[in-house]
């Protein structure tokens, strides 16, 4: 970071380009286009895929609202789809129920770092001429059937938000093998200009630019890329720490009134981004929010990932959704609880989490 500041090149420049090259290699794609967030990555991917007014895009009902918001920003209509109650991912059969002649794309969200069954979803998309845009915000390391998720679909959007397995403070990346889409994405991310700042002011000399279309201010900076480069180099080391904490949690929580994260197929790799349990409310005297507050009082940071998209006022009111429309997502929304999962956790931290969860659930257990 200090070297970046001293270089005088703090915007989009050589380190951003290097981060793109190295991330493309790690993710298994030909092109990596850095952007300001995963939401920006989804938005631009939808535009590049031709999504606009009148088009529908299948989105999981159980995801962060950004997955659906990006469709709205592109001018399309997000069509929510229920998820499996154990994996929290969409499945091809359920997606098929929501297809119409207006469906243009599918956004599979690889929830918590678990791969969607893309080997089933891809043939469905191919039969109907649909674009798959992977929402891999949780899934940098994720693999399906021994391959990175970029091997399926057309575009994959990643997040480098502060809580993610790699962070650049804020930031995102789009990975694709399509040369034409990559070129358009590079134009769209920086005002629709024909050449970015690095190309215009590099050692090759000044070059004029032209505005090709009204693009966006979605570029990453070299300050962000400097963080990303160093974290990318350590990603497997950090992944091993999360894997160890995950195993400790599974062993410690096996007999508590909760549902552990579903096991992963031997052919898949889970990114271990979120450790999400489902509370067995029938065996507890308090609801999820009361238990979350009790853990907060024990100084344990928890999260709720997530309340279903259909339960938020904007989507509920605009599209007329009710909890019964997506029963699995509604069931998850009432019970889900995410416990601390980070490569920054020490052995003592993990022990504190285990002790507090055991104590709180014991207190509220019937």
- CATH number for the domain that contains residue 160: 3.40.640.10
Query: 43-70, pLDDT tens digit by residue?
Result: 999 999 999 999 999 999 999 999 999 9
Shared domain for 243 and 346, answered yes or no, is yes
Alpha-carbon distance 239 to 235, whole Å?
Answer: 6
Shared domain for 117 and 135, answered yes or no, is yes
Shared domain for 51 and 194, answered yes or no, is yes
Residue 304 has pLDDT above 90, yes or no: yes
Shared domain for 243 and 358, answered yes or no, is yes
- The single residue of 18, 104, 164, 217 carrying the catalytic annotation is 164
Query: 101-134, pLDDT tens digit by residue?
Result: 999 999 999 999 999 999 999 999 999 999 999 9
Structure pTM? 0.96
For the packed helices 14-27 and 222-233, what is the interaxial angle rounded to 10 degrees? Answer: 40
Q: Are strands 56-60 and 103-106 parallel, antiparallel or unpaired?
A: parallel
Residue after which a domain boundary falls, among 164, 199, 233: 233
Alpha-carbon distance 176 to 155, whole Å?
Answer: 5
For the packed helices 235-253 and 222-233, what is the interaxial angle rounded to 10 degrees? Answer: 60
Residue 200 has pLDDT above 70, yes or no: no
Residue after which a domain boundary falls, among 168, 202, 233: 233
Shared domain for 62 and 201, answered yes or no, is yes
Shared domain for 280 and 175, answered yes or no, is no
Cα three-residue angle 248-254-255, rounded to 5 degrees? 135
Q: Quickly state the pLDDT bin for 202 (edges 50, 70, 90).
A: low
Shared domain for 43 and 182, answered yes or no, is yes
Shared domain for 59 and 45, answered yes or no, is yes
Which strand ranges, in their side-by-side order, compose the sheet holding 336-339? Answer: 258-259, 275-279, 336-339
Q: Does residue 164 have an active-site annotation?
A: yes
Mean per-residue pLDDT, 275-294: 98
pLDDT at 269: 98
Shared domain for 184 and 299, answered yes or no, is no
Q: Quickly state the pLDDT bin for 204 (edges 50, 70, 90).
A: low
Shared domain for 153 and 226, answered yes or no, is yes
Report in angstroms the alpha-carbon separations of 232 from 64, 85, 202, 265, 336: 24, 32, 26, 25, 30
Q: Which domain holds residue 204?
A: 2-233
Residue after which a domain boundary falls, among 216, 233, 250: 233
Total domains in the fold of the chain: 2
How many other CB atoms sit within 10 Å of the CB of residue 201? 15
- Non-local CB neighbours of 136 within 8 Å, separated by 6+ positions: 110, 142, 149, 156, 157, 158, 159
Shared domain for 166 and 19, answered yes or no, is yes
- Non-local CB neighbours of 250 within 8 Å, separated by 6+ positions: 260, 261
Shared domain for 178 and 261, answered yes or no, is no
């Amino acid at each position: 970071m200090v070297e970046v500041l001293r270089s005088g090149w703090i915007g989009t420049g050589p380190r951003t380009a290097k981060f793109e090259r190295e991330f493309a290699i790690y993710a298994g794609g030909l092109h990596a286009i850095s952007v300001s967030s995963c939401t920006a990555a989804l938005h631009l991917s939808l535009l590049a895929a031709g999504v606009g007014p009148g088009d529908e895009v299948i989105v999981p009902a159980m995801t962060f609202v950004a997955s659906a918001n990006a469709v709205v920003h592109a001018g399309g209509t997000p069509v929510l789809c229920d998820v499996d109650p154990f994996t929290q991912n969409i499945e091809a059969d359920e997606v098929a129920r929501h297809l119409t002649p207006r469906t243009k794309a599918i956004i599979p969200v690889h929830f918590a770092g678990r791969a969607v069954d893309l080997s089933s979803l891809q043939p469905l998309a191919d039969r109907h001429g649909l674009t798959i845009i992977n929402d891999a915000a949780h899934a940098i390391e994720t693999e399906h059937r021994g391959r990175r998720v970029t091997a399926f679909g057309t575009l994959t959007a990643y997040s480098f938000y502060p809580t993610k397995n790699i962070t650049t403070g804020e930031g995102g990346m789009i990975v694709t093998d399509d040369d034409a889409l990559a070129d358009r994405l590079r134009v769209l991310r920086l005002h629709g200009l024909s050449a970015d700042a690095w190309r215009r002011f590099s050692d090759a000399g000044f070059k004029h630019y032209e505005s090709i279309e009204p693009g966006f201010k979605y570029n990453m900076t070299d300050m962000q890329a400097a963080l990303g480069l160093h974290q990318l180099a350590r990603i497997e080391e950090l992944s091993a720490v999360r894997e160890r904490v995950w195993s400790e949690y599974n062993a410690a929580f096996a007999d508590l009134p909760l549902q552990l994260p579903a096991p992963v197929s031997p052919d898949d790799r889970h990114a271990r981004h979120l450790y999400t349990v489902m509370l067995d409310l029938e065996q507890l005297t308090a609801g999820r929010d009361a238990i979350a507050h009790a853990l907060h009082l024990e100084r344990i940071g928890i999260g709720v990932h997530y309340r279903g998209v259909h339960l938020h006022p904007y989507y509920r009111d605009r599209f007329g959704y009710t909890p019964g429309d997506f029963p699995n997502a509604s069931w998850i929304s009432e019970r889900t609880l995410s416990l601390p999962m980070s490569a920054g956790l020490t052995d003592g931290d993990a022990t504190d989490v285990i002790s507090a969860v055991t104590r709180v659930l014991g207190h509220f257990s019937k």
